[in-house]
Amino acid sequence: MIFAIIIGLALGLALGFGLDISYPAEYSFYITMGLLAAMDSIVGAARSMMEEKYNSLIFISGFVTNALLAMVLTYVGDKLGVPLYFAAIFVFGGRLFNNLAVLRRLAIDKYFERKNRKSELKNEQNIEE
């Protein structure tokens, strides 16, 4: 599964840099907020995979809903002259850092579990000999 994620990421980056797609500069802020929310959803999905709680329906619905919410908040705030995009930055940015911290801890725990299992197997083999 991790291999598929890495291939998808590499393919997406190659297409993004390889294709000459442009959009009007006035949309850049909305796209940035949508990307922040999408990144939060992706990191949240990685966390749920590590915790073995992943559900693709929850991921897809959260991915789309969070991105749209961030862009709508930015748009409405822009029209009202109020920086509502700060809400998206604080919420999604905070969750992004929190999920990355949990991912780091889970990865370290799994590393030490594997290391301990290998050590135990080696000790068992030495005892049998």
The whole-number average pLDDT for the span 74-103 is 89
Domain, as residue range, for 117: 27-128
What is the C-alpha separation between 42 and 115, in angstroms, rounded?
28
Q: Is residue 1 part of a domain?
A: no
Answer whether residue 4 is part of any domain. no
- Is 7 a domain residue? no
Spatial CA neighbour of 35 closest among 96, 103, 82, 81: 96
The answer to the question of residue 19 being in a domain is no
User: What's the structural domain count of the chain?
Assistant: 1
* Inside any domain, residue 110: yes
Whether 8 is covered by a domain: the verdict is no
pLDDT digits (tens, 9 = 90+) for 20-63: 888 888 888 888 888 888 889 888 988 898 898 989 899 899 88
Q: What single letter denotes the amino acid at residue 89?
A: I
- The answer to whether 88 and 36 are in contact (CB under 8 A) is yes
Least confident of 38-42, 92-96, 118-122: 118-122
Residues in the chain, total:
129
Residue 5 has pLDDT above 90, yes or no: no
Instruction: Note whether residue 11 is domain-resident.
Output: no
In a domain, 115, yes or no: yes
